[in-house]
Structure 1
């Protein structure tokens, strides 16, 4: 049997990989795609989408808790089992639907992670295949901590599939994933402990908006152990025990479940990149401004796995493939990738959201800035739902009055930050925002008040 040859071989079936494979197949290229997990990628199968479905109940419980004595007489009851069944309606059909879409376009599918044999040759499912171009879109996977007993710890996807909630949990790592799942669990009555090596959670967000979130967590009886590196996990008769080194001390915590939420890393270790002469870093596949690998120019990378300026967020996994597709299809209008403002959100309650530069980054880049920072705003939108933790920090270029960075804590921070992303993309000034008309009373309207002291 001869060696199968393809114009384009895509590794990864998430948003980025699917986009490239479909576009190339529709353009008449002979395309193959491979994945060692269920087709469809992380976001719809075991990430953002199922998480957001489960989050709905915790948001309801959190809102009801804040309104007790103000109209809510009794806390709602919930069924985690019913919620899980509801979530499955969103998730279960994804892999088969993804394969069906790819099959319609004549794309060959492989259910294994390929390995490079040389610059244009791969081994997959025991077969050797050739590819003129290879696109790596394998995303991220959980970081495995190098400590005794780490295999006793569960991962984020295990949380999403829990048949029932335990009475206690420990999360090792207080980043996006750890904070989101910890809040979800705590709001539903689970006793939560968080352990992190840093001095605070969410170190990539401004301290001004993270500090109030810590207060909101502590109101749910969440315990934080900071400046502590987990060193061992043990199975006891009923509980698991985590030992963590905090300075010269050893701190111990026990719970029914332990979750490793210490971060995510590029999913590249199964690819044998060295054999393909594909350069990479700790952040992922090395790429130039066309998302092309500099040492193997027949290889491209997009989405979370690329070591690019893009943040590891789903919207970037839709944005970056456009540049790769233009390269593969030799689009004459193709330009090097230029990144838009990249908003991000932490789906806790209240939410944190950010776009643009941190204050330290703006100063390091030489901007003369105006910084506005407020917390515990008792404005109508927060007051009507008894939300104590509402605030923001904005960084504005003093010379142009353009927004360099916006950082928000509020129940609707994820929607509010989109307005700032739009304003930054359109190069609007703070005067432009002040002069706009928004509907009232909405969270979006509050943005005007941040730059116009006459509005609250």
Structure 2
């Protein structure tokens, strides 16, 4: 059978575009449909604009710290309009680059929604039907909002970058990494920020000691965290949005941000009708090579809900391309993926948490907390945390957790060492680079506690 395309990709985010480009560069005919903007969540409404907002939010504190060093300056107030204009100019540039690079590789882009009509047919929003030998679903995910009255008075993370003006007072509902990152951002921009979280602590799933340290620092910086609290009433009132929490706390806010999780964007694509199996949360069930229950249909990225990170989606796309178009069966390796949470202070993690290590077997915990030189000189009490978990029997490093300036940059290279199977002895025999924060990784000599 002759097909219109060798590969048709649904979704123009990082994973979909990478698979499309690689396949087209190998001489195959590739089509791609994107219903929103090329670049997907990460480029347009996630990682990139969020990180630029993180940078913007840090300058106020940097100006304060500069004064402690003897500089005469006043950061004043952020010109949100100026920042937002530059932000969207940059996002437009990146979107154009994604489109241009894909087209240069030979990808035919359809800027519209697409659904699956059968295992080899894609139906475009304009009514056209195209056939493909292989179909790749890379539709990503989307924020979810609790089903409660007046929930629409709040916004989600996608909406943040289009705000007309900065609110004076904001409530963020949700204590995951998205909620905590935006709490730090808006707090740094001068907004009075409060958080409602249902659990007893923020950042569920991360190392308990590390996330507790982040919470303490956030509160010291001015973020008000209400634990064990979820909204029970929301209404529009004069002067803002009144929100009452399950703890009894009640207040009026200028803005409400829902950070209550994300779900795969897979419904309404015709997947189940074509024979693809979806999990209860809507994620696409695939094997180790990204293949669904329908041999011609594959999926990568947040749509499969395994590890929802941009670099993971890209690697899954590369593995798909090698497997399907180069005849090199390649499974994605999900072990020891470094992660960064751009809270303030930021946190970097790779490997096991202390709780996981304790379950795995006898573990030695090395940890240190200290005031970084730069901030200590400015009179700050905030401490950086370095933590290493070591298998007592093999000396192998099981996990590393860093909270403090540059944590994300450091954890990338720590991830390389763990991937190579580094032991505590490897760190010990490495000479320290002084004066740096990172030198603490090779200076922790004695465990602070042992887990049996």
TM-score by length of structure 2 reads 0.91
- Which 10-residue stretch deviates more, 156-165 or 378-387? 378-387
Preserved contact between residue 170 and residue 254 of structure 1 (Cα < 8 Å): no
The aligned residue for residue 383 of structure 1 is 376
Alignment of 1:320 onto 2:313: no
Preserved contact between residue 396 and residue 421 of structure 2 (Cα < 8 Å): yes
The aligned residue for residue 49 of structure 1 is 48
SS of structure 2 residue aligned to 1:259: strand
Preserved contact between residue 3 and residue 133 of structure 2 (Cα < 8 Å): no
SS of structure 1 residue aligned to 2:434: coil
Preserved contact between residue 208 and residue 373 of structure 1 (Cα < 8 Å): no
Alignment of 1:347 onto 2:348: no
Q: CA shift at 1:334, angstroms? A: 3.0
Question: Structure 1, residues 9-29: CA drift from partner, whole Å, max 9, x if none?
Answer: 101111110111111112222
SS of structure 1 residue aligned to 2:81: helix
Quick one: structure 1 residues 303 and 225, their matched pair in 2 at CA, closer, same or farther if it must change by over 3 Å? same
The aligned residue for residue 398 of structure 1 is 392
Aligned counterparts, 1:44-443, within 5 A: 44-65=43-64, 69=68, 71=70, 75-77=74-76, 78-125=78-125, 126-246=127-247, 250-281=248-279, 282=281, 284-293=283-292, 295-308=293-306, 311-331=307-327, 333-364=328-359, 366-375=360-369, 377-378=370-371, 380=373, 383-384=376-377, 386=380, 388-443=382-437
Quick one: structure 1 residues 397 and 99, their matched pair in 2 at CA, closer, same or farther if it must change by over 3 Å? same
SS of structure 1 residue aligned to 2:284: strand
| CA distance, structure 2, for counterparts of residue 75 and residue 348 of structure 1 | 24
Q: CA shift at 1:167, angstroms? A: 0.7
Q: CA shift at 1:69, angstroms? A: 4.4
| CA distance, structure 2, for counterparts of residue 273 and residue 312 of structure 1 | 20
Preserved contact between residue 266 and residue 282 of structure 2 (Cα < 8 Å): no
| CA distance, structure 1, for counterparts of residue 188 and residue 104 of structure 2 | 44
Question: Structure 1, residues 79-102: CA drift from partner, whole Å, max 9, x if none?
Answer: 222222332332122233322222
| CA distance, structure 1, for counterparts of residue 58 and residue 312 of structure 2 | 26
Question: Structure 1, residues 414-445: CA drift from partner, whole Å, max 9, x if none?
Answer: 11212320110111111111211343212222
- RMSD value, Cα: 2.2
SS of structure 2 residue aligned to 1:165: coil
Count of equivalent residues:
442
Preserved contact between residue 285 and residue 306 of structure 1 (Cα < 8 Å): yes
| CA distance, structure 2, for counterparts of residue 65 and residue 170 of structure 1 | 25
Alignment gaps of 5+ in structure 2: 448-452
Preserved contact between residue 272 and residue 278 of structure 2 (Cα < 8 Å): no
Preserved contact between residue 65 and residue 375 of structure 2 (Cα < 8 Å): no
Preserved contact between residue 142 and residue 264 of structure 2 (Cα < 8 Å): yes
The aligned residue for residue 443 of structure 2 is 449
- Which 10-residue stretch deviates more, 337-346 or 381-390? 381-390
SS of structure 1 residue aligned to 2:203: coil
Alignment gaps of 5+ in structure 1: none
| CA distance, structure 2, for counterparts of residue 206 and residue 80 of structure 1 | 35
| CA distance, structure 2, for counterparts of residue 255 and residue 434 of structure 1 | 51
Preserved contact between residue 434 and residue 452 of structure 1 (Cα < 8 Å): no
Q: CA shift at 1:70, angstroms? A: 5.0
- Which 10-residue stretch deviates more, 250-259 or 42-51? 250-259
- Which 10-residue stretch deviates more, 260-269 or 221-230? 221-230
Quick one: structure 1 residues 213 and 72, their matched pair in 2 at CA, closer, same or farther if it must change by over 3 Å? farther
Q: CA shift at 1:257, angstroms? A: 0.7
- Which 10-residue stretch deviates more, 36-45 or 218-227? 218-227
The aligned residue for residue 450 of structure 2 is none
Q: CA shift at 1:221, angstroms? A: 2.7
TM-score by length of structure 1 reads 0.90
| CA distance, structure 1, for counterparts of residue 250 and residue 41 of structure 2 | 33
